[in-house]
Structure 1
Amino acid sequence: MRIGLLLSGQGAQKAGMGRDLYEQNAAYRAVVDQASDLIGYDFQQEILENDEKLAQTQYAQMAIYTMSMGIYAALDDQIKEQVVGAVGLSLGEYTALAIAGVLTFEQGFKILQDRGRFMQVASDATDSKMLVILDKDQDRILSLIHQAQLAGATIYPANFNTPKQLVIAGLAEDIDQFAENLQQEDIKVVPLAVSGAFHTPFMDSAAAELTPRLANEAMAPMNVPVYSNTTGAIFDDVKATLTTQIVSPTHFSDALLAMQAQGLDATLELGPDKTLTKFAKQILDKHVDRYTINDLASFQTVTDEIVGEENNGFKE
């Protein structure tokens, strides 16, 4: 089986995520404990169990990364050997790069600790937010965004997630007005649980700080292809692409289709929820199976299905 990994981005976090895995899986627990050692306090209790902190990007990024990396560490080697590519959404690209051997766990954690702080400062500088728009006519939505911009609204397309889902970001009052206008036209919108206007020019200051932060990081060659949200292709210049990513729209569909083009039998999402798996259902060919691991029960079920009953991959 040729498996493509999907690594969660922000908005997926929730208090208590991974608790059952932490309590009952030694490999998962070791990763979270490593995060505790790196940050200097109990990461499970102080971050992963804390709704207030998880609502802040400076903590959410480290939390989602740590959970996804913990799940990967717990997987049976028979599954890891079948991985042929990885796509992460936004911060999930750091997880994908760590899984691919480009970064160590510690590198990824510390970079995201700083990236989250840079983005939190940029977010706090303005009252901004993000909004999910659910509509199959994205050209129409983009036209409406352009019209709003011409009228003075500071809003931007931020995430092209699926052919039916576009996320926008901008000044809070402009986003609220745009949302109201869309609802009047019976277009469904959903506020996104993040603390800033990510992947837009609102993050220019964060990108300016991330560039020197990444400059001296040693990065190893990939041992599995990682597909970029920014370019829609396999990462080339990793550092430059990661910096550009903060201020540029993500194109998850393009990256996922590029991975499928290389041959794919299944996707496996590692993280707090099933968001990317739902995206994959809308994007990929119907023959591609979709799996998600976001807790102990799904870990055991998915591992049994992929590896078989003789070795369920549960490490203690």
Structure 2
Amino acid sequence: MNRMALVFPGQGSQYVGMGTAWHSGFTEADRLFEEAADILGYDLKALCMAGPITQLSRTFYTQPALLTISVIAFRRYMHEIGMIPEFSAGHSLGEYSALVSSGVLAFGDALRLVQERGRFMEEAAVAKLGSMIAVRGAEPGAVEEFCRLHSTVDQPAVIACYNSPNQYVVSGHRTSVAVVAGELEQRGAQITRLQVSGPFHSPLMQHAADRLAAELQRYTLNEAKWPVISNVTAQPYPDVDSIRQGLILQMTQPVRWIQTMQYMANHGVKQGVELGPRTVLKNLAKEINTAIEVLSLDRDLDRVELERRFSIRNWIACSLSLAVSTPNANWNEDEYRKGVILPVRRLEELLRNSESGSGPLPAAEQRLEILECIRLVLQTKQVSEGEQKVMLEHLRREQDGAISNFN
């Protein structure tokens, strides 16, 4: 089976007009924007659609904006594709989007949390003592060693993000980071100074982390519907308490994105879907060079390919064919009517609705109902448990789509 993961981008992916192509005309998007405006006290949709970019790029505004756009993307994905993922993961801020997607955090609670998180991070950076750089063309061991050599307790420099084998981010006190940058440039590395408001994912964020720890106590976290992978450990969170701790540690610890993608690949994930603005995580996946291919909802060709691979109409047709063609060994008319005829009629109705574009149910709900219909048909026709398992596994493979070298 080609397992799927949902991935959510973090700060730096924002742009004016983000998500227009896939939230325009989606009524759920309007509802979420309205909820966001009520919670935040300003028109988030107007900021996302019209800017200005100077405001949209301020951490205090960026974080609620990216969370909202990513949650809209997830809701659109579930409405039109509806494949339940094996895992979800988010890069830095994107971890909050991943937690909303899996049901750990309610959207409104997550929005309030990231607004405060953005405030804490901005206020921690007000002294302007920190900076961040992106590093290309250097071995991670060399970057780690230079950070160690040129750090002090008061002026740290650390790797903030393990983004890909070709890209690392260093964060910390501007003096130490500048020395590390100079050392790496002398050895041929490419350095980009990032336009950010603070030294994120470094020890200089400890005060902000302490404030976030107190804020987190105000919110209820639920059990995840599917595993969410921690930025800090690159492992799925085992329980709710570990999620709280992970979100606090994330403020001062590095984002282990390489390790996150490798964990998913090692556990059978072949397909990733990036839900949010731009294609940053899609591009990093290529550099990490695992077996995972990422399609981005923010890229027109990728959206078309997602719809082709995971067409709900095609899957209903496959399911209907299986229901009709499976031999029957049950001659009880009443059981046959309830357990075969009625489920087949329901599948036919879902297929007609899908072909006409009038289906009232989101794709995720349809997929669950289809599986229940098929199980009922197979049980009623008295198919053995072993054969049922094989048939359902084959049907799930049909649902998983065709993985290709699509770019």
What TM-score comes out, normalization by structure 1 length? 0.90
Give the C-alpha shift of residue 241 in structure 1.
1.2
Query: Which amino acid in structure 2 is aligned with residue 301 of structure 1?
Result: V
SS, match of residue 86 in structure 2: strand
Cα separation, 2, equivalents of 1:97 and 1:118: 20
SS, match of residue 269 in structure 2: coil
Partner of 2:62: 60
Partner of 1:216: 218
Partner of 2:339: none
Task: Label 1:33 to 1:101 Cα distance change in 2 as closer, same or farther (>3 A).
Answer: same
Give the C-alpha shift of residue 276 in structure 1.
1.1
- Of residues 217-226 and 45-54 in structure 1, the stretch that sits farther from structure 2 once superposed is 45-54
Partner of 2:345: none
Task: Label 1:89 to 1:151 Cα distance change in 2 as closer, same or farther (>3 A).
Answer: closer
Partner of 2:310: 307
Cα separation, 2, equivalents of 1:280 and 1:121: 33
Match status 1:277 vs 2:282: yes
Match status 1:246 vs 2:259: no
Do 1:79 and 1:306's aligned partners in 2 also have CA atoms closer than 8 Å? no
Partner of 2:119: 117
Deviations 1:203-245 (A, max 9, x none): 1111111111111311110001100010111113111111111
What does residue range 74-93 of structure 1 map to in structure 2 within 5 Å?
A: 74-77=76-79, 79-93=81-95
Query: Which amino acid in structure 1 is aligned with residue 277 of structure 2?
Result: P
Deviations 1:234-269 (A, max 9, x none): 113111111111011111122222222222120011
Task: Label 1:298 to 1:129 Cα distance change in 2 as closer, same or farther (>3 A).
Answer: farther
Do 1:156 and 1:170's aligned partners in 2 also have CA atoms closer than 8 Å? yes
**Alignment: residue pair count:** 314
Partner of 2:196: 194
Cα separation, 1, equivalents of 2:12 and 2:131: 12
- Of residues 18-27 and 54-63 in structure 1, the stretch that sits farther from structure 2 once superposed is 18-27
Residue in structure 1 matching 2:237, options 231, 235, 238: 235
- Of residues 267-276 and 48-57 in structure 1, the stretch that sits farther from structure 2 once superposed is 48-57
Do 1:122 and 1:205's aligned partners in 2 also have CA atoms closer than 8 Å? yes
- Of residues 44-53 and 7-16 in structure 1, the stretch that sits farther from structure 2 once superposed is 44-53
What does residue range 1-316 of structure 1 map to in structure 2 within 5 Å?
A: 1-47=2-48, 49-77=51-79, 79-149=81-151, 154-236=156-238, 237-286=242-291, 288-294=292-298, 297=300, 300-308=303-311, 310=313
Partner of 2:336: none
Unaligned residue ranges in structure 1 (runs of 5+) = none
Do 2:21 and 2:298's aligned partners in 1 also have CA atoms closer than 8 Å? no
Give the C-alpha shift of residue 131 in structure 1.
0.7
Cα separation, 2, equivalents of 1:284 and 1:234: 21
Give the C-alpha shift of residue 152 in structure 1.
8.8
Task: Label 1:191 to 1:264 Cα distance change in 2 as closer, same or farther (>3 A).
Answer: same
Query: Which amino acid in structure 2 is aligned with residue 293 of structure 1?
Result: L
Do 2:11 and 2:63's aligned partners in 1 also have CA atoms closer than 8 Å? yes
Partner of 2:399: none
Query: Which amino acid in structure 2 is aligned with residue 16 of structure 1?
Result: G
SS, match of residue 12 in structure 1: coil
Give the C-alpha shift of residue 134 in structure 1.
0.9
Query: Which amino acid in structure 1 is aligned with residue 218 of structure 2?
Result: N
Query: Which amino acid in structure 2 is aligned with residue 154 of structure 1?
Result: P
- Of residues 145-154 and 112-121 in structure 1, the stretch that sits farther from structure 2 once superposed is 145-154
Give the C-alpha shift of residue 138 in structure 1.
1.2
- Of residues 183-192 and 25-34 in structure 1, the stretch that sits farther from structure 2 once superposed is 25-34
Give the C-alpha shift of residue 146 in structure 1.
2.0
Do 2:262 and 2:290's aligned partners in 1 also have CA atoms closer than 8 Å? no
Query: Which amino acid in structure 1 is aligned with residue 286 of structure 2?
Result: K
Deviations 1:101-144 (A, max 9, x none): 00111011110011110111001133322111012511122222
Query: Which amino acid in structure 1 is aligned with residue 308 of structure 2?
Result: E
What TM-score comes out, normalization by structure 2 length? 0.71
Deviations 1:43-70 (A, max 9, x none): 1213552311222111111111111101
SS, match of residue 108 in structure 1: helix
Task: Label 1:135 to 1:14 Cα distance change in 2 as closer, same or farther (>3 A).
Answer: same
Do 1:159 and 1:251's aligned partners in 2 also have CA atoms closer than 8 Å? yes
Q: CA RMSD in A?
A: 2.6
Cα separation, 1, equivalents of 2:56 and 2:120: 16
SS, match of residue 170 in structure 1: strand
Task: Label 1:276 to 1:167 Cα distance change in 2 as closer, same or farther (>3 A).
Answer: same
- Of Structure 1 and Structure 2, which has the larger fraction of its residues in strand? 1
Do 1:230 and 1:248's aligned partners in 2 also have CA atoms closer than 8 Å? yes
- Of residues 247-256 and 135-144 in structure 1, the stretch that sits farther from structure 2 once superposed is 135-144
Task: Label 1:150 to 1:59 Cα distance change in 2 as closer, same or farther (>3 A).
Answer: closer
Give the C-alpha shift of residue 189 in structure 1.
1.4
